[in-house]
A and B are shown apart, each in its own frame.
Chain A
C-alpha cells in the first residue's frame, strides 16, 4: 500500500495542482483585463502611444511597491487587517455558515479597544501589557457580540446571513453613538475619539517604515488557526460539519456547542484584528462609517479557498495591488483604487466558478485515458 503511494506521479490534472493552475490562470486573466481597461482610460494620441503609456503604467502598478522599503512596508501594513478579517470569515465558511458579521464586529470591537486605549487610568503604562489589554478586550467584545447570531442560528435555525447583515448596521449605530458620547474629547464636537495613549499603541518594528508589531501577531494567528482547523478535535468537527451537516449529525456531533464555539472564535479574531489595526495605524478612533474590512474578509476567505495560508497569500496579493494603486494615485491621473476592484471582482468570479477550466481538464483526462489503452 505504501509503495503504491510512492509511485504516484505528479499530474497537473490532480486535484491540488489543478487548483493552483486554476488560480494562476485566473490571476493572469484578471491582470489582462485590467490592462485592457487601462488602455481605454489612458491618455495618448495614437493607438501605439496609448498602448505604450498603458504598458508603462501597468508595469508601474505591478512593481511600484518594490521600489523602496517604505512602500513595501505599506503593503504589509494594509495586509494585517485583511488577514485578520479573512481568518475570522474562513472559520464561518468552513463550518458552512455564510456569516458576514465580521464587518460590524470590527467596528464595535474597535470601540471596546478605544475605551481602554484612550484612558491612562485603565492602563498600566507598560507598552506590552497595555496593548495586550486593548487587544484582548476587543477580542472578547467581538467574541461575545458574535455569539448572538450564533445562538439564533444554533437554537432557532435563523438565517445567519440576514441576521449578520442587519447586525452590522445596528452595531455601527451603537458604536458611533458611544464614540461621540463617551470617548470623544469633552467639549469638542466631531466624529473622532480622544487620542490613544502612547503605551497602548503598537510599536514600529522595521525602521523607516510603518510596519508595526501587528504583523507578528497576525502571523501567529495564521499558525494558530491552521492548528485549530487541522490538528484539533474542534477543527475536525468544523470541517466535517461544513462539508456535510447531515453527516455530522449522523456521526453524533452536536451542532449547538460547535456553532457557539465557532462564532465566539471568529468574533474574537475579528475583534483582535480591529484593535491591531487601530493601535498600529491610527492615532485615535476615526471611523465614521463601517470600515469595509469585514466584507473584504469574505473576499479573502473566498480567494484563499478557506485555508489560513491561502487567506494570507490572498491578503498579501490584494494589499499589494491596493497599496500600489494608492501610492500611484498621487502621481498618475488614471490609476485609482477602483482599478484594483476590477482585479478583485474578476478574481472572485473566476476562482469561485466551479466550471472554469473544467472542460480543459476533462479533455486532458480523456487524452491520458486513451494513451493508457
Chain B
C-alpha cells in the first residue's frame, strides 16, 4: 500500500520568458492512492503535470518511476511506461467511434489491416471490467461531456496506465456526474491504480483524496493525509489568507434602477443546428444576472451574438433602450457595453503588446486619449499607471509586455480596461477562469462595485460556486434554452441547480418568462 511508485525530486522549471513555474518541488506518489495536487491557478500545477507526462522538460531535478530515474523524451514514452493523463480539454476525434478513439495509435491488427471487430471486443470488455456503462460503437461526437471523459479515462486504461493524471476533471461536470466519477475513482484504488487528482474545488479534494499536496507560488507547501487536515487549514495553505464565503454584505441596493439590458427572442444557429433557441431575459442597473449551465449549452453563442464576436442572426437586444443588434462592435461599446471575454489570451489581450497598449484598446480613439491623428501619450501613460495602481497589477512598469504577467494579473488588465469606460452593461464571461484565488476575489469585488454603482452585470461562468456567490438573479441554460429562472438565490443549492443543468427538471413557461422585465 505504501510503495512509492513515482517520486519527484527537486523539480525546477523556468520558462523562456523567465517565469519560474516550479521551484524545488518534491512529491512522492504511492501505489493505489488518490493523491490530490491543489493550489491556485498559476501556482505551477499544470506545469508539474506536463513535466511528469513528459510534455515539458524540467530545467533541473530528477523523476524516479518505480525506483528508476526516468528521462522520457515525449509523452509517447510516458504512455508506453504506464503514465496516463486526461487533459482538461479532451483530445478525441468526434467523427470516430468510441472504440476507434480508444485504440487509436495502438490498434489491434490483422495482417496489414486494423481489426475493428477485435478493437470493439477489447474495448467493450475493458469498459465492462471497469464498470463503465458505455456503447463503444457510438460516435464520440454524439456523447455528453461526462461520457467523453470516460472515453479519455478508458484510453489511458487501454494502454495499461498505472498512474493516471486527471487535470481538473470535475470542471466540466455537474454535481451528479462528479459523484459518479468519484465512485469510479474509488474502484481504481482497489485495482492498484494511482490517481493524481488536480482540482480547484476543495470540498471535492477533501472528499476523494487519500493525501493532498499543496503548491503555492511554484513551491510545495507540504503533503498531508486528507483525514488529518481541515478545509480551513487547507485554504490557508493555498492562499495564505482566509476569504469570505458570500458577497452579500458588500452589495448595496440601487434605487430607481432602469432596465439596462433587454434581450428578446434571441436565436443563433450553426450549420443549421440551433445553439440558442428563443432566449429572452433582461437586467436592471444594480443587478448581477448569472447564467449557469454545463459548458456547451449555448451560453457561449448567446454572449458572442450579443457582443458581436459572432454575427447576429435573429432577435432584439437593447442596451438602455437602444437597439444594438445591428451595430458593429465599436458602436456597441459606444452604446455602453463592456465585455470581459472568455479567453484572455485570444480575445482579451495582445500578449506581445505592452500593458499600456492593452489598457486602452477599446477607447483609445476618444478625445481624451487622442486627437485627430496623434495619440496623447502623456494622458495615456498617467491613465495606465492609475489603472495598474487601482487594480494592483503586479508589474514593474506599464511598458512591460502582458505576456510576462501571470494569468491573474493579465485578467486584471482586462477587467481594468473594461471598467475604465464606466459601462452601463458589463458582460463578464468566465471572469476568473484559471486565475489565483486572490485575484479572483479582487475581480469579484470589482464586479460588485460596478453593480453597486448602477451598472447591469451579465455573468457567465462554468464555476457554479462563483455564479451562486455573485448573482442577484440566476437563469439556467440547457440545450440553448432557459430552463429555470431564480429571482432570488436564497436557499438555492448546487444540487438543485444540477438537476436543471442536466435537463432533468424544467420550470413552467410562466416562471421562465419572469426572467424578462415588462417595463
**Measuring CB to CB, which residues of chain A are less than 8 angstroms from any residue of chain B?**
1, 4-5, 8, 13, 15, 231-234, 236, 239-240, 243-244, 246-254, 358, 361-362, 365-366, 369
Contacts and interface: CB of A to CB of B under 8 A. Distances in A.
Contacts of A4: 396
A225 B361 CA distance: 21
A225 to B, nearest CB: 14
B385 A243 contact: no
Contacts of A253: 330, 361
Interface in B445-486: none
B339 interface: yes
Contact of B329 (A231, A233, A249): A249
Nearest to A5: B397
A251 B307 CA distance: 11
B333 A252 contact: yes
A248 B330 CA distance: 11
B60 A366 contact: yes
B18 A232 contact: no
B347 interface: yes
A251 B14 contact: no
Given A13-B18, A233-B364, A252-B330, A1 B309 contact: no
5 contacts: A231-B374, A236-B375, A243-B350, A244-B353, A365-B20
A13 B14 CA distance: 13
Interface string B317-361: 000000000001111110000010100001111111100010011
Question: Which 7 residue pairs are nearest across A and B when measured between Cβ atoms?
Answer: A252-B330, A244-B350, A251-B361, A243-B350, A252-B329, A250-B347, A243-B352
A369 B328 contact: no
A134 to B, nearest CB: 27
B362 A231 contact: no
Contacts of A5: 396-397
Contact of A247 (B60, B347, B364, B389): B347
Contact of A1 (B347, B348, B385): B385
Contacts of A232: 373-375
A231 B330 CA distance: 22
B159 interface: no
Residue from A4, A254, A366 having most chain B Cβ neighbours under 10 A: A366
A252 B328 contact: yes
B349 A233 contact: no
B251 interface: no
B370 interface: yes
Nearest to B16: A358
A82 B328 CA distance: 40
Contacts of B352: 243-244
Residue from B361, B373, B375 having most chain A Cβ neighbours under 10 A: B361
B365 interface: yes
B433 interface: no
Interface in B363-378: 364-365, 370, 373-375, 377
B216 to A, nearest CB: 16
B401 interface: yes
- Please classify the interface of chain B as helix (H, G, I), strand (E, B), loop, or mixed, using the class held by over half of its residues: mixed
A1 B353 CA distance: 21
Given A4-B396, A232-B373, A232-B375, A246 B14 contact: no
Given A254-B328, A366-B59, A366-B60, A240 B362 contact: no
Residue from A240, A252, A366 having most chain B Cβ neighbours under 10 A: A252
Contacts of B346: 244, 246-247
Given A247-B350, A252-B330, A366 B361 contact: no
B196 to A, nearest CB: 26
B301 to A, nearest CB: 16
B330 A243 contact: no
Given A247-B350, A249-B347, A361-B16, 16 more contacts: A15-B401, A233-B365, A234-B373, A240-B361, A243-B350, A244-B349, A244-B350, A244-B351, A244-B353, A247-B346, A249-B329, A250-B329, A254-B330, A358-B16, A365-B20, A366-B12
Contacts of A239: 353, 357
Contacts of B60: 366
B173 interface: no
A115 B357 CA distance: 44
B350 A231 contact: no
Contacts of B347: 246-247, 249-250
B87 interface: no
Contacts of B361: 240, 247-248, 251, 253
B50 interface: no
B79 interface: no
A362 B396 contact: no
Nearest to A15: B401
B226 interface: no
B200 interface: no
B385 A365 contact: no
Contact of A250 (B14, B331, B341): B341
B23 interface: yes
Contacts of B385: 1
A27 B18 CA distance: 25
B388 A365 contact: no
A233 B333 contact: no
Residue from A239, A361, A365 having most chain B Cβ neighbours under 10 A: A365
Nearest to A369: B20
A231 B375 contact: yes
Nearest to A18: B18
Nearest to A11: B18
A249 B348 CA distance: 10
Contacts of A15: 401, 404
Contacts of B357: 236, 239-240
B23 A369 contact: yes
B374 to A, nearest CB: 5
A247 B349 contact: yes
